[in-house]
């Protein structure tokens, strides 16, 4: 499944060519990986990072400003963006992750807003609301990164996102991932067994914020202009990412891919009806929470289970022990 999807993501823009398809697919990949990173925190440790757009912002501005003022290469900027977001994440996490979950959500929300207001106010340095122009990536290994031809950006993003996804996948399948799930399902119990709950939460939060920062830096050089609005780096961007993770299905990582395809697809279909698009976002979110808590991924898993159960099974007599379960 994974191989086929990855192959399709590589091949489709080659077949279609042009600018439109790679651009749309780039948004799908970007939203997918951000959704997966959100899910890495939410679905595995119940950490609600309501300020994820703030970490994206830290990465984007971290890279853009260091390229502009320190003259470093945008490629190094990817690492700088990651580290900028990581530092913010470690400080925020170290101070809040030992509190109840709701405090993490609120603190990250205000960290995001403080950062955004600071960028808005520090006009001389960040150009504030008039927007910071960011240089594109410099040529590497004979590849040029021109904004007129988004295909090289797309493949760079696909490679980055693929690598990060594999990394997250390995972590959640490892011993560490098992500990994450133990903490998620019973925090007190895990603590009693000698697991250092706060340390694992901090580990998870640091990994996620670092990668979010890297994609923020990529975004800066890809999009070319940074504006600290709530659509870009505020509540609305966070909500978009959160909706993708929820609709995709929490606790799966790959569910966000389905969520991203659905939402970016809707965005393209409803391009002329912006307000309808957002109403559908909201309605989808409410419907998922009320009716389909496992999201699209849950639906897919259910269908796969159904297919599996169609295969002939050894004839086991059904047990009717209704009285025992009541």
Partner 1 sequence: MSDTVILLQLTIDGLTRGAMYGLMATGLALIFGIVRVINMGHGELFMLGAYAMYFVTAVLGIPPLAGILISAGLLFLVGMALERGLIAPLRSRLGENWLVDGYVLTIGLMIILQNLALMVFGPREFGVASFWPGRVELGDLVISNERIVILGAALALATALGVFLNYTLLGRAIRATAEHPRAAQTLGINIANMYTLTFGIGAALAGAVGAILLSIYPAYPTVGGDILLKAFVVVIIGGLGNVWGAMLAGPLLGLIESYSTAFVSGGWQNTTISLLVILVLFLRPQGLFSRQVARP
Q: Note the residues at the interface with partner 1 (CB under 8 A).
A: 42, 46, 48, 95-96, 98-103, 105-107, 109-111, 113-114, 117-118, 120-121, 230, 235, 239, 242, 246, 275-276, 278-279, 281-286, 289-290, 293
Least gap, CB of 13 to partner 1 (angstroms): 31
Least gap, CB of 118 to partner 1 (angstroms): 5
Structure tokens at 183: 């903490």
Looking at beta carbons only, is 2 or 276 nearer to partner 1? 276
Looking at beta carbons only, is 1 or 290 nearer to partner 1? 290
Q: Where are the beta strands (DSSP E) in the chain?
A: 132-133, 225-226
Looking at beta carbons only, is 107 or 156 nearer to partner 1? 107
Handedness of CA 53, 57, 58, 59 (dihedral sign): positive
Least gap, CB of 65 to partner 1 (angstroms): 17
Least gap, CB of 220 to partner 1 (angstroms): 21
- Residue whose structure tokens are 């939203």: 31
Residue 277: Cβ-neighbour burial (10 angstroms; 0-12, 13-18, 19+): middle
**Cβ atoms 248, 35 nearer than 8 A:** yes
Least gap, CB of 211 to partner 1 (angstroms): 22
**Cβ atoms 133, 140 nearer than 8 A:** no
Say which DSSP state 150 is in.
Answer: T
**Rounded Cα distance, 41 and 207, in Å:** 9
Looking at beta carbons only, is 139 or 282 nearer to partner 1? 282
Least gap, CB of 202 to partner 1 (angstroms): 15
Bridge partners, 226 (sequence order): 132
Least gap, CB of 282 to partner 1 (angstroms): 3
**Cβ atoms 228, 116 nearer than 8 A:** yes
Looking at beta carbons only, is 2 or 110 nearer to partner 1? 110
**Rounded Cα distance, 170 and 161, in Å:** 14
Looking at beta carbons only, is 2 or 103 nearer to partner 1? 103
Looking at beta carbons only, is 95 or 166 nearer to partner 1? 95
**Rounded Cα distance, 312 and 93, in Å:** 51
């Amino acid at each position: 499944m994974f191989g086929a999807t990855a192959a399709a993501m590589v091949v489709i823009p080659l077949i279609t060519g042009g600018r439109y398809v790679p651009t749309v697919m780039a948004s799908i990949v970007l939203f997918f990986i951000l959704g997966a990173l959100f899910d890495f925190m939410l679905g595995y440790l119940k950490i609600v990072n309501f300020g994820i757009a703030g970490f994206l912002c830290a990465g984007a501005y971290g890279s853009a400003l260091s390229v502009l003022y320190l003259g470093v290469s945008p490629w190094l900027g990817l690492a700088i963006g990651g580290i900028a977001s990581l530092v913010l994440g470690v400080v925020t996490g170290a101070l809040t992750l030992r509190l109840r979950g709701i405090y993490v959500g609120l603190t990250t929300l205000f960290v995001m807003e403080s950062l955004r207001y600071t960028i808005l106010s520090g006009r001389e340095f960040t150009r504030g609301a008039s927007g910071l122009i960011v240089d594109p990536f410099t040529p590497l290994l004979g590849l040029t990164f021109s904004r007129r031809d988004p295909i090289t950006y797309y493949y760079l993003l696909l490679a980055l996102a693929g690598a990060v996804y594999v990394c997250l996948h390995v972590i959640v399948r490892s011993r560490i991932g098992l500990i994450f799930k133990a903490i998620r399902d019973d925090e007190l119990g895990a603590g009693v067994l000698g697991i250092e709950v706060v340390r694992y939460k901090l580990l998870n939060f640091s990994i996620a914020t670092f990668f979010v920062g890297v994609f923020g830096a990529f975004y800066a050089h890809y999009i070319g202009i940074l504006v600290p609005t709530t659509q870009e780096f505020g509540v609305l961007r966070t909500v978009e990412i959160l909706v993708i993770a929820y609709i995709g299905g929490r606790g799966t990582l790959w569910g966000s891919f389905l969520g991203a395809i659905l939402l970016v697809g809707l965005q393209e279909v409803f391009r002329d009806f912006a307000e309808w698009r957002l109403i559908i976002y909201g309605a989808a979110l409410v419907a998922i929470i009320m009716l389909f808590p496992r999201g699209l991924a849950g639906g897919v898993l259910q269908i796969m289970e159904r297919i599996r159960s169609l295969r002939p099974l050894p004839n086991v007599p059904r047990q009717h022990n209704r009285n025992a379960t009541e």
